[in-house]
Structure 1
Amino acid sequence: MATQTSDRYTSFAEFYPYYLQEHSNDTCRRLHYVGSLLVLAIIAYAIGSGQWLWLLAVPLAGYGFAWVGHFVFEKNRPATFQYPLYSLMGDWVMLKDALTGRIRF
């Protein structure tokens, strides 16, 4: 298995267990869920209203909640800095897994 500092993950399936490990704190995970759901709400509102400037809030909502979770509660550095694409994918898979009961909400 790859390590955080030296090896690169070659697949998302390989990365996801590491991603979950980096989100072991319940509050951190829940802040990710809030941010992800807020992102969906902002996108829906922008599309429905035609007020496209709201889309500028998407990164703030998504990353803002997640980074508070990491820096304040998880006490680690967000995986986004090292694995941006896999981390973005992980956010949505983790939310799906929580909503389907696969992992603790």
Structure 2
Amino acid sequence: MTIRTKDRYARFSDFYPFYLAEHSNPVCRRLHYVGSLLVLTLLAYTVASQNWSMLWALPVAGYGFAWVGHFVFERNRPATFQYPFYSLLGDWVMLRDAFTGRIPF
């Protein structure tokens, strides 16, 4: 049973099936993966180089690819606007699930 309070998900485990349904298009999912991996790459570069001005690029890279996936391929509104924390967590859980074979790449 999905637990929602005042139109909000009470637990991430309840939110995640909704999140996956919002990412049913494989191109949208792949664009999320590209954005997430680019975020990790940029973060590693920023820390290694200590060029902290590159931190501005993290949300641009992550959300840029994801939002193209939603607006162009999925044709829906990103869940980030309503569930920012759960959506961010969902990006990383979905990437893990793709790498472990739990969901199709």
TM-score bracket, normalised by the shorter chain, equals over 0.9
What is the alpha-carbon distance in structure 1 between the residues aligned to residue 99 and residue 21 of structure 2? 18
Q: Is the 8 A contact 2:35 2:62 kept in 1?
A: yes
Q: TM-score, normalised on structure 2?
A: 0.95
- State the match for 1:70 in structure 2: 70
Count of equivalent residues: 103
- State the match for 2:89 in structure 1: 89
Moved more, 68-77 or 49-58: 49-58
Moved >3 Å (runs of 4+)? none
What is the alpha-carbon distance in structure 1 between the residues aligned to residue 57 and residue 86 of structure 2? 22
- State the match for 2:35 in structure 1: 35
- State the match for 1:18 in structure 2: 18
Deviation, structure 1 residue 96: 0.2
Gaps of 5+ in 1: none
Q: TM-score, normalised on structure 1?
A: 0.95
What is the alpha-carbon distance in structure 1 between the residues aligned to residue 89 and residue 96 of structure 2? 11
What is the alpha-carbon distance in structure 1 between the residues aligned to residue 7 and residue 52 of structure 2? 39
Q: Is the 8 A contact 2:31 2:66 kept in 1?
A: yes
Deviation, structure 1 residue 2: 6.0
What is the alpha-carbon distance in structure 1 between the residues aligned to residue 3 and residue 69 of structure 2? 24
What is the alpha-carbon distance in structure 1 between the residues aligned to residue 80 and residue 50 of structure 2? 30
Read off the aligned partner of 2:76 and give its amino acid letter: N
- SS of residue in 1 equivalent to 2:55: helix
Deviations 1:33-79 (A, max 9, x none): 00000000000000001111111100000000000000000000000
Gaps of 5+ in 2: none
- State the match for 2:99 in structure 1: 99
